[in-house]
Every structure is written in C-alpha cells, then in structure tokens.
Structure 1
Amino acid sequence: MPYVRKLVGSRTYLSPLSHDDAELMFRWHNDLEAIFLAQGPGLRSPGTTQEFREFIDTFHQRKWPILMIVDLETDQPIGWCSLWNVRPAQSQAEVAIIIGEHDHWGQGYGSDAMRLLLDYGFNLMNLNSIELVTGEHNTRAIRCYEKVGFKHVGRRRQGHIHGNRKTDVILMDYLAEEFVSPYVIPTIEQATKHS
C-alpha cells in the first residue's frame, strides 16, 4: 500500500493508518520484545487481525490520530504512533508509539517520529500538554523521550508487573510552549510566502 507523506521528518514520515495496516500491527504486537518495551493503549494484548481493525476504527471514531511510521528512505512501514485519550477541554492527550522493526531500533527513527507526532498534536490539534508513561526498564525509550524534550513529572512505584518482575512507571509530559515545530509551522510559513 502506498503511504501518504502527511508529516515529514529527517528519517521518517507519518501516514494515516488504515485497515490494510492491521496485519503489520498484528505481527508487531505479537513480538514479545517489542511489546515489552512499548507503551500505549492496547499494547499488551496480542489480539487478532480483526481486533486490530476494530482498534483502528475506535481511534478513527474518536478522532484520535493514529499514524503509520514510515522509513523516509525506503518507504518501509516500521511502526505506528498515536495521540489518544484526547481531552479537548483540558487541551491534553497521551502518546503511544511502537517501532516494530528491530533493525530500526536505536537509530533515531523513534525520536524523529515522536517529534512529528508532537508537531501534529501541538500545531494541528492545538494541544497544550502531551503526556506519556513508560516503564523504568525501558531506558532506550526514556533517552528518546528526554532527547525530544519530555520532562519527568512523576513515578508510580511498581506500576508494571511482567511475570514476577515489578518495575516503576515513569510519568513524563511536554508543554506546547517548550516545543519547536520541525515541520508544520515551517511548512505553513513557506506556503504563506507563495500566496
């Protein structure tokens, strides 16, 4: 399926996610290592392909953006991300992201996609605060979140239990006033120069 370059970064672009992507989501969500590290709604349940189609429908019905993360160079889908639990009255949302392709881990794809997702939330949805939770064991993700500008705001002790292992949950957030747009604002400014 050809992907649309909705928001373009230096390594990735984000494209609307559709039912055609349910097979990929099914594969990624049945990868125990990827899911152990991932955070967000429905990320712990392997599910079926049909359940992922319904999951996508739920996001679309609630008008929560759910986007495929695509490698800019190869056009290969490598993961997905979303803003969910959107609370318009408070101008807040939570973020979910998974890089399902192991060969794209630790190379900046996740942080590039996260910047684009934040840009979408702050500059297209007019959110003021975007939040996330992650397990303290997920040091690679924590480094990514810190790199893009998330701040630590709390800790939930023993908030994750995996088998017999208990780990704390790290709470982080990002405010719109702290964010510099990598794509949306420069694109709008460029478009207004030509009008």
Structure 2
Amino acid sequence: MTELPQNPCDVLEAIARRHSVREFRPDPVSEQVLLQLLEAARQAPSAMNLQPWEFVVVRRPETKARLAAATAGRNAQVVQTAGASVVCLASLRQADALADRIEGQIRAGQAPPDREAMVRRLREDQAYRQLLVLPNTYTAVGFLLLAATRLGLATLWMTGFDGEKVKEAVGAPAQDSLFAGVVAVGYPAEGWQQPARTRRPLEEIYSFERFGEK
C-alpha cells in the first residue's frame, strides 16, 4: 500500500494544490483513509442542517466494471484504474425528514404556523426539493476533495455518467436519490503531468458593495 506523505498541508495550501488527475495507478486506498475523507464530507455545512449527502465507496473490480458501464471514454478507464471511487448522491429523503422536523416544531409551538407553506414545498415541489439537496451535496463533495488533497491523494470529480445507471450499479434507491457525481480517489500514475491550471483573474470575479465596483 502506498504510504501517505508525512507533511500534510493546511486547508489554504490544499485549495491551491488541488487539481484533477486523470491517470491513476491501481494502488488501493485504505479503508481508514477513505473514512477520513467521508468524515470531512460529513462536516460540510448545509441549509437548515439538511445534510442530504450519501456516499457509496467502490473498490471491488466487479463494482468498478458496473460503474464504468454507466459512462464512456476516459471516465470509464479512470473508475476501473483508481484505487477507489466515491459515488456521491443527494438524498430526497432528507427533504422529507426536514419537513417532518418542521411539522413537529409547529405542533410544539416552536415554529410559526406559516411555515406550513415550506412543509408543502418540501413534500410536493420537486424542483425545490432538488434545488435544496443538490447544492448542499456539492459542498460536501468539495470538502472531500480538499481532505484528499491534504492527505496527499489525487482525485477527479466526474459528472459525465448516466445517473440512473450509476444508482443501479451501487443499489441506490432510484426515486429517493439524485446523482451528484463520482470522485475517483487514489495515486497519480507514474509520469502523470498536470496541465497548467487556468483560472480567471481575481479582479475579474469580485465587486464590493455593488456589482462592477472595486
């Protein structure tokens, strides 16, 4: 098993170091390390403490093959080569659980009755439900990526999959979860050269107080 570096970086350095690796060597990633990544994802913030994320770690060759069948091209090679892949899902059941909590608060007099409108949206408005669970799950994915970088691991976040096939491959509930990507985790292939990172200039992306003002 490949040893992790002895000088892990801090979070700002991890942000600067993180990049997408598209060629991995097949060294396994230990369960202990994978659990560290998932614990980091678990600590992500979420609206109303929704915590809608769920993760399925894929390591066995037969599961990797099923996952690869849900995509094409380089992504298929990546998931079969990397030490592990993490299927990221956004749980609609957590929107229902939030509706249950709010209803309980209303009955107990801890929330105003006008919050019943939110309960209805949480239960019935599918666009609202998706808009609520997906962005929060993406935040948790970002935490996972940074934790992996801090521990010296390479990652690639991929969304170019057939989400329904991915859910079938890992036995996830088709109706209660939304596909939020696959993160390959492992060690870069020997000789892998990361292309130069391109980012918009800082001064191009921000304003103070009013759009367009510096």
Q: TM-score, normalization: structure 2?
A: 0.25
Task: Return the structure number with greater relative CO, CA threshold 8 A, min gap 6.
Answer: 2
Q: Which has the larger radius of gyration?
A: 2
Higher helix share goes to which structure?
2
Q: TM-score, normalization: structure 1?
A: 0.27
